[in-house]
Structures are given as structure tokens and as C-alpha cells.
Amino acid sequence: MTPRVVVAGSANMDLVGLAERLPRPGETVLGDDFVMIPGGKGANQAIAAARAGGKTAFLGAIGSDAFGVTLNARLDASGVDMSRVRTSYGSSGVAVIMVDRAGENSILVSPGANRSFTGLTDDETATIAAADVLLCQQEIPLETVFAALRAGRAGGTRTILNAAPARDLPAGLLDEVDLLVVNETEAHEITGGAVGGDVMAALLALVPRVVLTLSGAGSRYADRDGADAHVPAFRVEVADTTAAGDAFTGALAVAWGEGRDILDAIRWANAAGAACVRKVGASSALPTRDEIESIYHAA
Ligand code: ADP
């Protein structure tokens, strides 16, 4: 069964400039190469879900500028249904990223059109309600995340929240979440610093199911029915860990939407994360279903 996945989230154009060192305030530094790549957690996870084999639609707002044209084209070419995306007059979301030779970076995110993604339309609400899985992150207005999760819950759609980046959430938002996906930093921020085994317990007080991603150590899963399991990572040669979390979360939405057992879905998502870190790049490193399968079955 091909699951229908809806991602309601952000899209940014990442403008990445490389230089020997980062400029100090007021200083101009002559740099090296420049690349422009689609980014934003929403767009990345939509691409990840589409490549992983989900019938994926993106809901969000993209600017009327040249970046918007490129963003639309790139997501469309990745197999994401962009037919319901809003075009917002003005700038698209942009991340201006400077990276030095040591890999240190400085990032300025200008949310642009993402900020205008408010007030879900009837069509957007119906699209969410008709899906098998809804996937949200926290780079758009939280009232929209809340409304999308409510629409999912009301329609019987499984709701996944990747609580990234960590933000203070409106009361009640987490009540609409079926599965929370967080890394260790986000878990720490949400629970206000619970440590060790207490982190999962603290998160389960908020949501019924939790996946904690542990980078090279894989993931941990716990739920209110008493499950608590470590799902080990696949061993691969690491080239670049950028977007591993997006690859993982997009693939998890697809696998869970296919009706797989949750621990098997997490194992499959670990394979997607591993496939992503083998390659240099952000959205360009998000793996296809075949790449995920080859790692999943090789172990
Ligand atoms: P984030 O990028 O959101 O911080 P993580 O770094 O925890 O997320 O990575 C997400 C998932 O990607 C992990 O749960 C794991 O399955 C996979 N992954 C990340 N780093 C590695 C690695 N070095 N080797 C194998 N798998 C990895």
C-alpha cells in the first residue's frame, strides 16, 4: 500500500557561501564556491517522504520571487505534489549560510513567505483529513501547526510532530500528536532538562509515542503501552550528517503510513538516516526507496 503523506511546513532556499574563514561584523571576506539548495525542514521532509515512496503533498507558502520558482520546481521534480502550495507576494524563506574551511558556520534565516502560512483553508484541511499520515515541524507559525494537527486528528490521520527547532508550544498542541520525533537537544528543551531514562518518561507524559533520534547510535522508541526499545543505527561510512534527521523523519512517516510495526518502521527510518549521512549535501543527499532498502536488507 502506498501511503498518502501530507507535510505542512516550511520551505527555504539555502544560500551557502564557502570561505576560508567567516567574516567578522563589518568585514568583507573574499569567499570560495557558492551553492543554492532547497531547504527548510518541511520541504526536506516532503522530499524525503516522496523519495522513500510515499504519495506526498506539501502544504506551505512560497514567495513570488525567483527562489519560489526554483523551490517549486525542485520539489515537484522530487515527486512532491505542489498543487496546493500557496504563493505569497514577496520573498520566499531564505537561509543565508556561511561555512568556513573547518566546517564552522554562521546562519541567518529569513522566514519570508513561511510566516504567511496561517489560517488553513477548507481545501488544506480536507487534504490533511484524507491523508494516512500528517507530518509537521516547527518552522511555520505554531497556530498553523496546531490547526493542521487538529485537522489530522479529526480526520483519523496519524499525526507526527518533529519538534524542531525547539520552541515554546501553545497549551494543548501536543494533545493532538500521535507520535513525537525529537533529537536529544530538542528532548532536553521540551522536558526542561530531564536526564537519562527520565527523558522518555517526561515525554510520554505529553504524547502517547516518542522516537528519540540518537545520531550514530540510532533511535529509541517508547510508548504509553509500556514499549521501550533501542533501535540500533546501521553502520556506514559517514560523509556529512546534514539532513539525517529529515531523511529519518520523512521515511518514518512513509513506513508507519504503510502500516508497518512501529519498531520496524523506525529500523527502516534508521536505514534512511544512514543512507543520508553517506553522502555530502542536504536535500540532495535524501535517499531514494532503493537506497533505503539496500541498507535495510544488507544488515
Ligand atoms: P538530527 O539531524 O535531527 O539531529 P540525528 O543526528 O539523531 O538527527 O540523526 C537522525 C537519524 O539518522 C538517527 O536516528 C540515525 O538513524 C541516522 N544517523 C545519524 N547519524 C548517523 C551515523 N553517523 N551513522 C548511521 N546513522 C546515522
Separation of 119 CA from ligand 1 center, angstroms? 34
pLDDT above 70 (res 148): yes
Separation of 243 CA from ligand 1 center, angstroms? 9
Which pLDDT score, from 0 to 100, does residue 197 have?
A: 63
Q: Choose the residue to mutate in 183, 213, 219, 238 for probing ligand 1, maximizing ligand atoms within 8 Å of C-beta.
A: 213
Write the pLDDT tens digit of every residue in 90-146. 999 999 999 999 988 899 999 999 999 999 999 999 999 999 999 999 999 999 999
Which pLDDT score, from 0 to 100, does residue 211 have?
A: 98
Which of 14, 65, 81, 246 is catalytic? The answer is 246
Atom 17 of ligand 1, nearest CA residue: 273
246 counts as catalytic: yes
Tell me how far apart the terminal alpha carbons of the chain are, to the nearest angstrom. Answer: 24
Cell of 262: 512501529
CA separation for the pair 128, 111 (Å, rounded): 23
CA separation for the pair 58, 80 (Å, rounded): 7
Cell of 24: 567578522
Cβ burial of 89 (10 Å; 0-12, 13-18, 19+) is: exposed
Confidence band of 224 (pLDDT split at 50, 70, 90): very high
Q: What sign for the dihedral angle of Cα 13, 77, 286, 117?
A: positive
Write the pLDDT tens digit of every residue in 201-221. 999 999 999 999 999 999 999
pLDDT above 70 (res 41): yes
pLDDT above 90 (res 282): no
Separation of 216 CA from ligand 1 center, angstroms? 5
CA separation for the pair 65, 36 (Å, rounded): 15
| Ordered strands of the 4-8 beta sheet | 55-59, 4-8, 133-136, 158-162, 179-183, 209-213, 219-223, 228-231
> Does 142 sit in the ligand 1 pocket, CB within 6 Å?
no
Could you tell me which CATH class the domain 4-11+39-92+114-298 is placed in? alpha beta
Lowest mean pLDDT segment, chosen from 4-8, 127-131, 150-154, 276-280: 276-280
User: Would you kindly state where each structural domain of the chain is located, as residue ranges?
Assistant: 4-11+39-92+114-298
> Does 278 sit in the ligand 1 pocket, CB within 6 Å?
no
Which pLDDT score, from 0 to 100, does residue 195 have?
A: 66
